[in-house]
Structure 1
Amino acid sequence: MTYEELLTETALANEQVVVMTAENRALVRNLPGILGKRFIDTGITEQTMVGAAAGLALRGRIPVIHALTSFLTMRAFEFVRTDVGIANLPVKLSGFIPGFLSDGNGPTHQAIEDISLMRGIPNMTVFAPADEDDLVKMLPAIWQSKRPAYTRINTRKTSYQHADYLPGKAEVIAEGSDVTILTYGLLFEQALIALDILKSEGLSVGLINMRSLKPVDEQAILNAAKSNLVVTLEDHFLTGGLYSIVAEVLLKHRQTANVLPLALEERWFKPALLPDVLQHEGFTGKQIAEKILGYRTTSEQPEILLTEFSE
């Protein structure tokens, strides 16, 4: 099932569902003719769309709204925060081309701070499916919730069949004692490749698809921290994303871990076709595995130096 098919089925089954877009119909091309007045295109006016969605939600509707992620989360941020978040309204934000999925677009269209922004909003829930199969398994629960929600929309088709989604729970793909990779969204594909490479090197490797970033599965993170190395992998700025979430959870539970963050550290990525973006920025499965192997080798040295210094 595709995103559009799921949304169509959901809207036809529930007349309270209203589909909205800010002139971004890529995900919902066929819905205007099906839903009629329950399909609303406000034009390139993300702030107006969010405000109107809040008004509809106050009158019992369930608005599912669409826009490019960068504009939905940044241009309309105040409206999302004040009209939707503070009021705790069931507006469902669908962000199109988040992270590396905006591949050929420059910094103005790159949403690589969206997780940080959205999870800081009162009452907002935040989700990042790994691919289309994961997306359609997660969205029914997300749309049925009475809370506001932001979802990084990922309609990439992969061969991986995900487990059913349990609200707020991560998907444990594999468990390992040497390395555990925590990731979400698009980079799950590359993490699978890295997993196989690392296992071929004789390592015990875990992989967790975080899926839900707010609420977050704290126990999954605490379990991952038992590995010798935890890797946070994300197409997001280092600040405020999964690396920050892991740090917050560990501090909350008074635990520590050896953590290697793989993210964008205060820089935007070079626009190109997606395979070239991943290669240039160092986020292919092979490059991820090489970074982890390299870190495991060099990270032994500081411990030796510290011991010698203490003596």
Structure 2
Amino acid sequence: MTTAPAPAPARSSREVYRDAVAKLLPDEPRLVVLDSDTGLFGGVDFGSAADRYLNLGIAEHTLMGAAAGLAREGRIPLVNTMAAFASSRAVEAVKIDIAMGNLPVLIAATHSGVSAGHLGPTHHALEDLAVMRALPHMTVVVPGDAAGTEELLRQALALDGPVYLRLGRGATPDLPAGPPLRLGKAQQLRTGTDITLAACGPYPVLAALEAADLLEGEGITANVLHLHTVKPLDTSALLSSLGVGDTVITVEEHWRSGGFGSAVAEALSAVRPVRVHRMALPDEFVPVAGSQRYLIERGGISARTIAEQARKSVESHRGGTR
């Protein structure tokens, strides 16, 4: 009797990023890793490229300035820090030194959203999508799982301008297989005709998929789009996915103001009258500590709440109770 192999343990996007960088660095002499004492690369052997790993310490503003200088000299810097610090403490340098010059700097921002939920609101990053997508030239990428992180990283490194790569802290489940990952192009993970669920980030995408399963049992079919690229946004995929109800429900791990849902609403309102229901964390500081999934669900993001909002939207279009 043959025993089936045990499934591979779930991995975090930051771990996959770290291992991918360790493989890429020796083969690409232009790459330089700039760290802010994150500990992410502790024990990593970069081999012959060890001199291109520089730990500048907890000095995020300086980190961004140094990355800009290296980029102007033909290097491709990978900047490593926490998302809360990249989008707040260091954002002036990101804006003036990196984005203004349209420089090829990749900012790998870990502990995004509430993935550092145990550390409290000082380490939550629930404003970073709003901040980064507002900057001219900035590409904003949010891998949906560890499996997609390496591919999106490789594609992002081929771009000419700055990139904000939003990574989590802990392991998250892999998403189901979908179309090949292409930067700037949405992945359609479910097909339906009644409503569109557009999600960004690991747990929001998983919750949207679970909600689609719940709705299917009630005779409601949903498109589920995984939009791993927040900027530039795949507006064409959103438009082509709209069902008869012309309603999109966005799901994200971010404050409601200015994030992924706002990006979708802005893009669609310019080309077509569409109802957009934004499901995100309330615009308030999270007052408790807890795991990432717990804090997301505490903020009202779950398969049940998404399905409930979808049901209301479909019933409204069909003439049922609102």
TM-score, structure 1 normalization:
0.90
The residue that corresponds to 1:30 in the other structure is 43
Following superposition of structure 1 onto structure 2, how do residues 65-76 of structure 1 map, counting pairs within 5 Å? 65-76=79-90
Q: Distance in 2 between matches of 1:267 and 1:296?
A: 29
Q: C-alpha distance in 2, partners of 1:160/1:30?
A: 32
Q: Distance in 1 between matches of 2:148 and 2:46?
A: 27
Structure with the higher fraction of residues in helix conformation: 1
Contact kept, 8 Å, 1:96 with 1:152, in 2: the verdict is: yes
Structure-2 separation of matches of 1:163 and 1:25:
34
After TM superposition, the structure 1 = structure 2 runs for residues 76-225 of structure 1, keeping only pairs within 5 Å, are: 76-154=90-168, 156-158=172-174, 160-186=176-202, 187-225=204-242
3-state SS of 1:30 partner: coil
Overall identity of the aligned pairs, in %: 28
Superposed CA deviations along residues 61-97 of structure 1, whole A, max 9, x for unmatched, are: 1111111100011100010001000011101000101
Q: CA deviation at 1:157?
A: 4.0
Q: Which amino acid aligns with 1:177?
A: T
Indicate how the Cα distance of structure 1 residues 264 and 275 shifts in structure 2: closer, same or farther if over 3 A, else same.
Answer: closer
Aligned partners of 2:132 and 2:244: how far apart in 1? 29
Contact 1:21–1:65 (Cα < 8 Å) also in 2? yes
Aligned partner letter, 1:205? A
CA distance in 2, matches of 1:10, 1:33: 9
* 1:299 Cα offset (Å): 7.5
The size of the alignment, in residue pairs, is 302
What is residue 308 of structure 1 aligned with on the other side?
A: none
Does the 8 Å contact 2:200/2:228 carry over to 1? yes
Report deviation, 1:260.
Answer: 1.5
Unaligned runs of 5+ in 1: 306-311
Match of 1:10 in 2: 24
Distance in 2 (alpha carbons) for counterparts of 1:95 and 1:214: 16
C-alpha displacement of 1:181: 0.5
Normalising to structure 2: TM-score of the pair? 0.87
Alignment deviations for residues 226-257 of structure 1 (CA, whole Å, 9 cap, x no partner): 4523101011122211221122212221x111
The 5-angstrom pairing of residues 27-66 of structure 1 reads 28-31=41-44, 34=47, 35-66=49-80
Q: Deviations over 1:12-59 (max 9, x none)?
A: 110111111111122x33336533221111111000111011111111
2:266 is aligned with 1:248: yes
Query: What is the RMSD computed on CA atoms of the aligned residues?
Result: 2.2
Question: Which residue identity lines up with residue 22 of structure 1 in the other structure?
Answer: S
Task: Tell me, in whole angstroms, the C-alpha distance in 2 between the residues paired with 1:73 and 1:214.
Answer: 16
Q: What residue number does 2:303 align with?
A: 285
